[in-house]
Amino acid sequence: MKIALAGGGAFGEKHLDGLAKIEGVEVVSLVGRRIEPTQEMADKYGVGHATTDFDEMLAMDEVDAVILCTPTQMHAEQAIACMDAGKHVEVEIPLADSLADSEAVLAKQQETGLVCMVGHTRRFNPSHQWVKNKIDAGELTIQSMDVETFFFRRQNMNAKGEPRSWTDHLLWHHAAHTVDIFQYMTGEPVSEMNILQGPLHAELGIAMDMSIQMKSAKGQILTLALSFNNDGPLGTFFRYICDNGTYLARYDDLFTGKEEQIDVSDVDVSMNGIELQDREFISAIREGREPNSSVAQVLPCYRALGELASRVEGA
């Protein structure tokens, strides 16, 4: 299977690392904003074609599927363009930064029947998979989830500490991970939701601090705190408070509520959530099926985000 990757930033590199471990997959084109670093990354990973022209890549007959790691504001339009060109597409999170754009991508997927998957990586991290497997086996029921998403981003920088050409967003990007996994884990629609946010950043125009609360139809509670002002441990930390234990998920690692590490090395074929996400995308295409984290499956998350966005300034 021949893959094109658009977006040569921090997450583009993570996907290239993951794809290199999947048999029968070749990355044949890399699209970036500037040709020099794009060519440099293509050379590093042995990708034969590098370009700054997205349409040039879409015109390549040999490309079967595209992975989008481009700025959020481009996701919906580019995903639709991929499907119009007959390419399967995996869109890095978030699918879009509006509900209308999210629904437009779903409509195009339903029209074309192509695989369209969104990179909601938490569904694939071994730590979260372990919890989900216990829930599906009837061994756990979530009572509440307490989640912290903390970064230090008072300047427009990416995950590698390099200047960004676009602005990240606490609600449409970082909250999307947690709102989706809350609905995925509980299997329930959200019945109530609230949002509070701090002042908008004078230059970036986004809220730097945010608090979200949600309640499932069965009464399970989500409490989510998000900040770009946190000068301390960075990342997202999940606390699953269940009827049979408490579990702390930190990306691909899992601990009990007493900080005892749980071995999740046998949960899947890899300990890398991004690689597992890409494996699901490739497998769904090969098997002609809907992937986990398909655009249809994650749309309830974006409907919730759309409702929350309507309640706050700058979202």
Please, what is the average pLDDT of the chain?
94
* pLDDT score of 159 more than 70: no
pLDDT at 175 over 90: yes
pTM of the predicted model over 0.75: yes
**Residue 313's Cα: distance from chain center in Å?**
24
Token duo for residue 277: 């996400």
State how far the Cα of 103 lies from the Cα of 191, in Å rounded to an integer: 21
* Residue 85 vs residue 154, higher pLDDT: 85
Kindly state the average pLDDT of the residues 128-140.
98
Q: Enumerate the β-bridge partners of residue 227.
A: 150, 209
> For residue 10, what pLDDT is reported?
85
Mean pLDDT of 182-207: 93
pLDDT tens, residue by residue, 33-47: 999 999 999 999 999
Taken in order of first residue, the domains within the chain and their CATH numbers are: 2-120+274-291 (3.40.50.720), 122-270+300-309 (3.30.360.10)
Percent of the chain with pLDDT over 70: 96
Q: Over 80: is that where the pLDDT of 164 sits?
A: no
Angle subtended at Cα 292 by Cα 46 and Cα 8, rounded to the nearest 5 degrees: 30
Q: Do residues 125 and 252 lie in contact, with contact meaning Cβ atoms separated by under 8 Å? A: yes
Mean pLDDT of 69-79: 96
Q: Which of 11, 17, 47 lies closest to 30, judged by CA?
A: 47
The pairs formed by 247-255 with CB atoms below 8 angstroms and a separation of 24 or more are 247/130, 247/131, 249/125, 249/127, 249/128, 249/131, 250/127, 251/125, 251/127, 252/125, 252/126, 252/127, 253/127, 254/126, 254/127, 254/130, 254/131
Cα separation, 271 vs 174, in Å, equals 22
